[in-house]
Each structure stands twice: as structure tokens, then as C-alpha cells.
């Protein structure tokens, strides 16, 4: 736990990388570097759908403390939704987390705030923790902190519509400025902290401070072992959502260890 009573969370988003054979090798490499005494940080691997079962097999065989997550989900339980994957399917294959609303899903697959909200409800019904991604584009950031923040808070409010206060305390929010994803350019730790404070304050007003204090907020966007130490001391940042660096076992574990 960090000084605020929250367990830091590190999530590796493998995106559309790794065939099943490659995913098994990467999961094994990460599991070999992940020792049992790394209990003070929760660590989640999010491979592509087709790799979930095999990666889960690696983690179970290893009796690893690493957790499994998916990169997306559909909100219906079952039915004629070609190509879609339900929360129940994710749960059965071993997922305890699922990313929703990643900016790449919003940009390339037209995912809307309303879709994100439906996914969040469906995941919670299935007992899977949603990791809700929010974040502004460069134009909004350049327009000023206030504009960027109000856009982000609108995304947060839309994603959480209709949830009860206690549910809100169990979800995870990842602040990922779009201009920092995969670009090598991070937000400054101060910017990320300010956005995290604004999100927590907004949720404190909406669902009570006790619940808002429990909710974890991650930063994502070009986090690397070389820059992570700047983000760790930020009191409202409770871990990271890692893209590129999660494909390198050593880099990913080094990132996680920074939060121990």
C-alpha cells in the first residue's frame, strides 16, 4: 500500500502484439522475474484476446501473483454480436481486470463515452474491475490546463453514469494524454498529478470522499524505467498503464519495482 492506503497497480497493455507462442514466452519471462515478495504492488498483464487462455495457463502453472486482464469487452451477455467477447467469457478465462475506453479504441473503433459506460456496468456485473482510460488530445492540452481538465472530467462522469457510490471506489481510472501514448513524450509528473487530483475531487463530490480516496488512478503515456521515478512520489498517482515498455520483460518488471 502507498501512504494513502491504496495498493499501487501496474498494468501492461500488450495491444495487438504477440502471437500465442510469443505471448507465452513473454508471460514466462515476466513471471520468472516477478517474485512472491512483490506483494505491495498489484501487476496485471493484458494480452490480446486469443492469448488470454495460454497466458493464464502460464500464470496458473507458475502460481504467479500476476493478474490477467483484457484490452476490451462487449457489454452484452451473449447473442448475435459477431466478433464480440462478453464479460462472462473474460471471467471464465481468468481475467480480473479489463481496460475500457483506450484512446486507440476510441480513435480507430469509434468507441463513445456511452459505449464505455455500458462496458463498465457489464464488467462490474461480472465481477471484473474496469480500467477506464481518459485523456485529452494535444489541441486541448495546448488550449490550457482548464480546458484539458474539463474534457477529462466529462469523460470520467460519462463513464461512471448510473454507478452506485461503492462501485465507483472499486474501479480504476487511467489518465492517458493521447499526445503521450507511444510518442516518447510524457506529461510532466505535475500535470499528471493535477489531473489525478481533479478526477479524485470530482468523484469525491459525486460519491463521497471515502469512496474517492479508495479509487486508484494510474498515469499512462510513454512510461519507461528511465522516467518512472518522477511519477512515483506523486500522491494521487497510484501506478501506471504501460504500453510499449510492457513488451520487454525486464523493463516492465523494473517499472513495477519502482512502485514497491
Residues that bind ligand PEP (CB under 6 A): 13, 176, 181-182, 220-223, 241-245
Q: C-beta of 204: minimal distance to ligand PEP in Å?
A: 26
Spatial separation of the C-alpha atoms in residues 59 and 225, rounded to whole Å: 24
Q: What share of the chain is helix, strand, coil (3-state, %, to 5)?
A: 50, 15, 35
The nearer residue to ligand PEP, 87 or 244, going by C-beta atoms, is 244
CA–CA distance, 59 with 31 (Å, rounded to integer): 7
Task: Identify whether 76 is a catalytic site residue.
Answer: no
List the grid coordinates of 159. Answer: 463513464
Question: At closest approach, how far in Å is the CB of 177 from ligand PEP?
Answer: 9
Q: Is-contact 240 220, C-beta < 8 A? A: yes
In the complex, the smallest distance separating the C-beta of residue 222 from ligand PEP, rounded to whole angstroms, is 4
Which residue number, 105 or 121, has a Cβ lying nearer to ligand PEP? 105
Catalytic hit among 42, 102, 136, 149: 102
Closest residue to ligand PEP in the complex (CB): 243
- Contact criterion met (CB below 8 Å) for 86 and 57: no
Which residues neighbour 166 within 8 Å (Cβ) at sequence distance 6 or greater? 211
> Is 102 one of the catalytic residues?
yes
Cβ-based nearer residue to ligand PEP, 48 or 244? 244
Between 201 and 230, name the residue whose CB sits nearer to ligand PEP. Answer: 230
CA distance 67 to 48: 14
Provide, rounded to whole angstroms, the least separation between the CB of residue 260 and ligand PEP: 20
Residue 120, Cβ neighbours under 10 Å: how many? Answer: 27
C-beta of 124: minimal distance to ligand PEP in Å? 21
Q: Which one, 85 or 181, has the nearer CB to ligand PEP?
A: 181
The CA distance from 186 to 176, in Å, is 9
- In the numeric block, the cell 496458473 is attached to 60
Sign of the alpha-carbon torsion through 163, 92, 101, 235: positive
Torsion angle of C-alpha atoms 243, 245, 248, 252, degrees rounded to 10: -100
Query: Cβ closer to ligand PEP: 182 or 233?
Result: 182
Residue 182 backbone phi and psi in degrees, to 5? 70, 15
| 177 within 8 A of 149, measured Cβ to Cβ | no
Least distance between ligand PEP and beta carbon 198 (Å) = 20
Where in the sequence numbering do the catalytic residues fall? 102, 176
Amino acid at each position: 500500500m502507498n501512504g494513502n492506503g491504496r495498493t499501487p497497480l501496474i498494468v501492461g497493455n500488450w495491444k495487438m502484439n504477440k502471437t500465442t507462442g510469443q505471448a507465452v514466452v513473454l508471460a514466462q519471462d515476466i513471471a520468472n522475474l516477478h517474485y512472491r515478495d512483490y506483494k505491495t504492488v498489484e501487476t496485471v498483464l493484458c494480452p490480446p484476446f486469443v492469448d488470454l487462455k495460454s497466458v493464464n495457463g502460464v500464470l496458473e502453472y507458475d502460481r504467479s501473483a500476476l493478474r490477467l486482464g483484457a484490452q476490451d469487452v462487449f457489454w452484452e451477455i451473449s447473442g448475435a454480436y459477431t466478433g464480440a467477447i462478453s464479460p462472462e467469457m473474460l471471467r471464465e478465462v481468468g481475467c480480473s481486470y479489463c481496460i475500457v475506453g483506450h484512446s486507440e479504441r476510441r480513435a480507430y473503433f469509434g468507441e463513445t463515452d456511452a459505449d464505455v459506460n455500458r462496458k463498465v456496468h457489464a464488467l462490474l456485473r461480472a465481477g471484473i474491475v474496469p480500467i477506464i482510460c481518459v485523456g485529452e488530445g494535444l489541441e486541448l492540452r495546448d488550449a490550457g490546463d482548464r480546458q484539458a481538465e474539463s474534457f477529462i472530467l466529462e469523460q470520467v462522469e460519462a463513464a461512471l453514469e448510473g454507478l452506485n457510490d461503492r462501485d465507483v471506489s472499486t474501479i480504476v481510472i487511467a489518465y492517458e494524454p493521447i499526445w503521450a501514448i507511444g510518442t516518447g513524450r510524457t506529461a510532466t509528473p505535475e500535470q499528471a498529478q493535477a489531473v489525478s487530483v481533479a478526477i479524485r475531487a470530482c468523484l469525491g463530490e459525486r460519491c463521497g470522499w471515502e469512496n474517492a480516496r479508495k479509487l486508484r488512478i494510474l498515469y499512462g503515456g510513454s512510461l519507461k524505467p528511465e522516467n518512472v521515478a518522477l511519477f512515483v512520489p506523486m500522491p494521487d498517482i497510484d501506478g501506471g498503464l504501460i504500453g510499449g515498455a510492457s513488451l520487454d520483460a525486464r523493463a516492465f518488471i523494473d517499472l513495477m519495482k519502482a512502485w514497491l
